[in-house]
Amino acid sequence: MRQAGATAGLTPKAAFGHTLMAARLTLAAAPAALGVLVLLSAAAGLAPVAVAWLTRLTLDGLVGGVSGTALVWAAVALALAGVCAVVVPRLSQYTEAEVGRRVRTVAVDRLYTAMNDRLRGLATLENPDFHNRISLAQQAGSTGPVHLLNSATGIGRSLLTLTGFLVTLLLINPWLVLAVSVTAIPTTRAEVLLGRRRVGAMWRTGYAERRQYFYANLLSAPREAKEVRLFGLGDFFRNRMLSELRSTNAVNRALDRRELGVQILLAILGAGVAGGGLIWAVLASRAGRLTVGDVTVLVAAVAGVQSSLSAIISQLGASYQALLMLDHYHVATTVEPDLPVPASPRPVPALTGGVEFRDVWFRYGPDQPWVLRGVNLTIPAGRATALVGLNGAGKSTLVKLLCRLYDPTRGQVRWDGVDLRDTDPAQLRERIGTVFQDYVEYELSAAENIGLGDLARLEDRDRIEAAARRAGVHEVLAALPNGYDTMLTRMFLAGIDEEHPEMGMLLSGGQGQRLALARALLRDDRDMLVLDEPSSGLDAEAEAEVHARLREHRGGRTSLLISHRLNTVRDADQIAVLSDGEIIECGDHARLVAEGGVYSRLFSLQARGYETTLT
């Protein structure tokens, strides 16, 4: 993935590409509102010039004795231009906000669609740079096109004002045009540099901000609250949070100070030019070379040229900054797919032979240790395979490779002879039902928590209940205040729900685990069931019951069960022992016990534990 580089600036080609991307986004999201905005900007840009000229006309008319009717018309026109100058910016503001809302929706949708479509595995999501990128991309997608649009309309508006006043100044004193224009050069350069620094600072502070939110979350999240309170971690995490906040503040403060210094210098330069122009106008008026109206329009013109120039420059700076931010959006939406899928993937057939790990080596990154070191294992179709081993042996990693959440670093995982690298992971996962050790408890209703296992059955209450029964959690769910429709969270209750606190309930750890098991069992018609520690949190009775049901269910199906409780795997057709990333033993219970190896030792250790307890 492309690294930081946010402070390095943009090539003209990239800047053009990002502008085009933002324009396409905006056009797709709000074409009509965009048209209205352009018209309003034109009106807003011309209004100040019209006001200045009409003021001159009125003042010179008053002094020069023009007819009453002409004066009244000039005054009426002046009043109308004044109304326009006040109303149009409000209308523009509303239209800009509306365009912003629409663009934001489309941009966020595209960002997450790209993530869903391109990131089918886990590797990129585990990359900290990517998370920094995503948080900037979210900001950029939500605000970048709108900032660019605002800048573009602002620049258009200011250009109209500028042209009008420049022509006015040219007519009165061309030297003033030159003086004002020269001050624009350092201002433009300063804005570009500041824009680059601002985005660079956002990248640098991104890590600290994410850590700050992490600590803040530890201090307020109910799940973590137990440990935080019992271990007295509140002050510790608060201090860490503040330290991250202070480091972000320090970066932003340094930036603000630099910005302040530059802006003060530039403001003094501008004020000097405006002051010089005013002195010249007063002297010229006294010498009879300028009328009162001329002086008024000149003062307005100098101020107008300066303010529109500075608006254009700061809008250019803002556009540059928005383009730098959009670079993050661009990188995130075009992120390299983490799992290459061939243009025409091989179909994943119904499993008839088995899944074979052929000399599989795997590590989580080139700088990480090997987790699997030449695993050779066949999970035969229609049989129950169990995988056992000590903590950290690589069991869950092996399951992740089986589900193609990563590709092996070396070797192959073959599904009925088809290398998983040649398949579409979505198709493969359609054939598998899995429950992971670190399952998710969704803050949704109980029925949805199970139904998510197979979206096509989200509304199929009979199937959902059947899965819950098999996982031994039906009675618990049926007895909830609102049955299967009870929300398994109290976090998102609002309004009417708050008056019915029983609407949101929390399950116990073991009940939650059975719920996750039910989610996997909803896919019971799949070719393979993979259960990674499905019963670690269950009480002994529940565990025995769940395993009895699973055995019944597994009969004749392909399954892979990981468990540390060896009594739950002893009846598997095949038990594989993983140690230090290698399969060191494989066979059924009787054979492994007879061999007297690692399995046999672990099994007797556990069995002895039970015997001692009983005696």
Residues that bind ligand ATP (CB under 6 A): 126, 364, 368, 371, 389, 391-397, 437
Nearest in space to 339 (alpha carbons), one of 415, 432, 428, 440? 428
Minimum CB distance to ligand ATP smaller for 176 or for 393: 393
Question: Which run of H or E residues covers position 28?
Answer: helix 12-29
Q: How many CB atoms lie within 10 A of CB 419?
A: 16
The least CB distance from residue 575 to ligand ATP, in Å, is: 15
Minimum CB distance to ligand ATP smaller for 527 or for 532: 532
Minimum CB distance to ligand ATP smaller for 215 or for 406: 406
Minimum CB distance to ligand ATP smaller for 438 or for 552: 438
Minimum CB distance to ligand ATP smaller for 448 or for 532: 532
Give 392-440 as a DSSP string. Answer: TSSHHHHHHHHTTSS--SEEEEEETTEEGGGS-HHHHHHTEEEE-TT--
The least CB distance from residue 396 to ligand ATP, in Å, is: 3
The least CB distance from residue 393 to ligand ATP, in Å, is: 4
The least CB distance from residue 435 to ligand ATP, in Å, is: 13
Minimum CB distance to ligand ATP smaller for 41 or for 397: 397
The least CB distance from residue 442 to ligand ATP, in Å, is: 21
Give the 3-state secondary structure of residue 351.
coil
Under 8 Å between Cβ of 41 and 157:
yes
The least CB distance from residue 483 to ligand ATP, in Å, is: 34
Minimum CB distance to ligand ATP smaller for 352 or for 368: 368
The least CB distance from residue 375 to ligand ATP, in Å, is: 11
**Alpha helical stretches, state H, 123-233:** 128-172, 174-220, 222-230
Kindly list the distances between the CA atom of residue 374 and the CA atoms of 353, 359, 394, in Å, as whole numbers in the listed order. Answer: 21, 4, 12
Under 8 Å between Cβ of 7 and 199:
yes
Which two tokens mark 235? Answer: 């002050």
The least CB distance from residue 438 to ligand ATP, in Å, is: 9
Q: How far is 106 from 25, CA to CA, in rounded Å?
A: 7
How wide is the angle at C-alpha 452 spanned by C-alphas 485 and 138, nearest 5°?
A: 105
Which two tokens mark 459? Answer: 């509304």
* Sheet with 384-388, side-by-side order of all strands: 432-435, 528-532, 558-562, 384-388, 574-579, 582-587
The least CB distance from residue 305 to ligand ATP, in Å, is: 59
Half-sphere exposure of 576 (CA within 13 A, CB side): 23
Minimum CB distance to ligand ATP smaller for 367 or for 462: 367
Q: How many CB atoms lie within 10 A of CB 355?
A: 24
The least CB distance from residue 364 to ligand ATP, in Å, is: 3
The least CB distance from residue 159 to ligand ATP, in Å, is: 53
Give the 3-state secondary structure of residue 4.
coil
Minimum CB distance to ligand ATP smaller for 334 or for 376: 376
**Alpha helical stretches, state H, 65-127:** 68-118
Minimum CB distance to ligand ATP smaller for 235 or for 438: 438
Identify residue 378 by its one-letter amino acid code. T
Which two tokens mark 422? Answer: 């040649």
Minimum CB distance to ligand ATP smaller for 243 or for 368: 368
Max CA separation in the chain (angstroms): 121
Burial tier of 482 (Cβ tally within 10 Å: 0-12, 13-18, 19+): middle
Which two tokens mark 568? Answer: 């739950």
